[in-house]
Amino acid sequence: MLSVIAVCLGGPGDEKYEGLLRMLDVLLSDRVLPGDKKKILKAEFDVAMTKTMEREAMEMCNLSQGIVDRTIITDIMNLMDSLGLSEEECMNALKVPEEHREMYHMMLQDKMEISQV
């Protein structure tokens, strides 16, 4: 059984953006570099990043990137199926950066091979 909890973290300038919400925003952010996360957690929350915590933070970042990647692959496949667009047209429509296209092409090929089995 799976349970999902959604927490709106808000952002800088929000009334309740402090304490735990700020810490979670820093930890889960894909906009804050790992080195900056480490500095912010130490300076603002007196949390020293151990090697274990650093590894776990990187795993969380990789997990969120994996979710984004799977979503983009699903979006490409849906556009191809619904609108009859080519893979390249779908990536153009989704504004996929050029440097990510080869990776998504490979992921798409893997996904299509699995679905044909």
**Tokens standing for 57?**
């933070």
17 vs 107, more confident: 107
CA of residue 43 relative to chain centroid, distance: 25
Domain total of the chain? 2
Q: What pLDDT score was predicted for residue 61?
A: 66
Query: By CB neighbour count within 10 A (0-12 exposed, 13-18 middle, 19+ buried), where does 114 fall?
Result: exposed
Q: Are 41 and 81 contained in the same domain?
A: no
pLDDT-derived band of residue 41, with 50, 70 and 90 as boundaries? Answer: confident
Structural domain includes residue 28: yes
Residue 57 lies in a domain: no
DSSP alpha helix (H) spans, the chain: 19-28, 34-45, 51-83, 87-93, 98-116
Average pLDDT of span 56-66:
70
Residue 59 lies in a domain: no
Residue 76, Cβ density class (10 Å: 0-12 exposed, 13-18 middle, ≥19 buried): buried
Asked whether residue 60 is domain-assigned, the answer is no
Considering the domain architecture, whether residues 44 and 70 belong to the same structural domain is answered as no
Residue at 56 is within a domain = no
Range of the domain at 83: 65-117
Q: Do 18 and 42 belong to one domain?
A: yes
